[in-house]
Chains A and B, each alone.
Chain A
């Protein structure tokens, strides 16, 4: 007579699984890395003279060691930077003191006046990193909002939703032109 196979006690299986679970919970992280992406300019040993840029095409943004913001020789609160940058980049009313424009042919969009904007950002060595990121964030936000607006106007969707070719067309009109100058050491940090 065949003996009946005894059932294996699986009661401790749960304990083992819990043990593994807790191990993984402790050793792993769940946080997704996010941040503001930037591309640094390549290093050059001897600084070549850059061709002069007309003053109206440059937005000078300065941050001092006390985290105060100055835009075009005017003290400014950080909350106004985004609007100022947007108006500077797009120059919607073709004001003479804001960037000049050059009509270029853009794929999918056609002839479009592209502004020759450059944002020059300079901070002090004593500026805190938190403030620096705030300024970077506002400038990025200005570009992003303008791209979204343009994208909605021409393609009906937000910039993120476009495919690469259409994104490049928009980037041709609103490219990131943030130039960072070597910081000055005035605050003495």
Chain B
């Protein structure tokens, strides 16, 4: 009776991959919980400015977005290089903003409407003239809570 088995045909034990799906599922659930669905496909190029005093936007369901920037390369032939407004998936003009805000507001429950926030995602090279016109339209549509989208930075100098 030997303590050690004297096996001559010692092969490498097969690695069990049975727990691999569990690991991957764990990753999957992590990503499903922490991320949000991409809602629109961007048609304008936006590099938001940096700022130090940014606050996180809470309750994403109450936020509607207005994108302003130069059209992407493949749209530049049709829409030119000047900054344009994008609402949802489409290019829009200043006059469309009020309708957009109204339709966004109608989507919300009555109780949530005062808390509606409009997030302006504007490229840092855009001139203020266009932004001011949009702000004026928002005032007319009485969407008064706005948020200038900005990246968190340590210092802006």
Contacts and interface: CB of A to CB of B under 8 A. Distances in A.
Interface in B123-157: 123-129, 131-132, 135-136, 138-140, 142, 144-152, 156-157
B78 interface: no
A47 interface: no
A144 B157 CA distance: 18
A13 B23 CA distance: 11
Residues of B in contact with A, size category: 35 or more
Contact of B35 (A11, A30, A41, A144): A30
B124 A42 contact: no
Contacts of B34: 30
Contacts, number: 161
Given A11-B17, A34-B57, A125-B129, A40 B146 contact: yes
A85 to B, nearest CB: 12
B15 interface: no
A132 B34 CA distance: 32
Interface stretch (A16-24, A68-76, A111-119, A164-172): A16-24
A78 B51 contact: no
Nearest to A38: B146
A181 to B, nearest CB: 10
Interface stretch (A54-62, A86-94, A98-106, A134-142): A134-142
Contacts of B152: 34
B57 A35 contact: yes
Nearest to A63: B128
Contacts of A38: 146-148
B112 to A, nearest CB: 17
A144 to B, nearest CB: 6
A42 B139 contact: yes
B24 interface: yes
A127 interface: yes
B38 A27 contact: yes
A33 B142 contact: no
Best-surrounded residue of A16, A27, A134 (most CB of chain B within 10 A): A134
A10 B51 CA distance: 50
B139 A41 contact: yes
Contacts of B120: 35
Interface in A4-56: 10-11, 13-14, 16-18, 20-21, 24-25, 27-30, 32-43
A154 interface: no
B56 A14 contact: no
B150 A35 contact: yes
Given A29-B36, A35-B148, 4 more contacts: A13-B21, A35-B48, A40-B138, A137-B52
7 contacts: A14-B24, A30-B34, A33-B147, A40-B146, A125-B129, A126-B129, A129-B122
